Amino acid sequence: MKNKFRLVCTLIVAQMSLACWAQQDNLPAAADSNTLRFQFSPFTLHYSPSDDHKPVWMVGLERETPQGKLDGFTYFSNSFGQPSAFIYPWGQNYRDFLGVNRLSWKWTAGLLYGYKEPYENKVPLNYKGFSPGAILAVAYEFKSGWSAQLDMLGTSALMFQFNMPIK
């Protein structure tokens, strides 16, 4: 059942991505106001799978200023099935990464909550479920505001993410 849910979510995201890609438009040169995005992740790939691992999903909101500054909040089920959250008041989006139009790399940093007993040692500097967090990501914007993103979750996993603008 878990694999079917994961497959259905991945197919929905892929279908949305392909539909938007087919209707590509030109990206604006620069935004004059903040951009608000809805984030969704149906799948995470662990570098070292374990029987303790559960399916990981994530939903969130992210704001980007015209200068590329990022902040946001995500709610997710961590690798061990525990409800978790990540609030990041610090971050930056660097567009046209490696000279490739629409490709960007991002970093975010903030406070992670949710890794509790018996998994409190799975993240560094954890104190009663709270720990610092940082994520590096690469994103490709296939339509204005719509992007697919790959998040590097430390030495543990890769998260596949989809972002869409909220107008």
Tell me how many domains the chain contains: 1
Cα diameter, the chain: 49
How many beta carbons lie within 10 A of that of residue 20, not counting itself? 20
- For 1-46, the pLDDT digits (tens) are 555 555 544 544 445 444 444 444 444 445 579 999 999 999 999 9
Q: Which structural domain, as residue segments, surrounds residue 115?
A: 2-24+31-166
Give the list of residues 6+ apart from residue 39 with CB closer than 8 angstroms, or none.
58, 59, 60, 61, 62, 72, 74, 161, 162, 163
- For 98-124, the pLDDT digits (tens) are 999 999 999 999 999 999 999 999 999
pTM: 0.80
Mean pLDDT calculated for residue range 135-154: 95
Reduced to 3 states (helix: H, G, I; strand: E, B; else coil), residue 107 is strand
Q: Name the residue with tokens 């107008």.
A: 167
| Dihedral angle sign, alpha carbons of residues 117, 122, 127, 130 | negative
Q: Any idea what the CATH number is for the domain that residue 110 is in?
A: 2.40.160.20
Contacts of residues 94-97 at CB distance under 8 Å and 24 or more positions apart, as own/partner, are 94/68, 95/68, 97/138
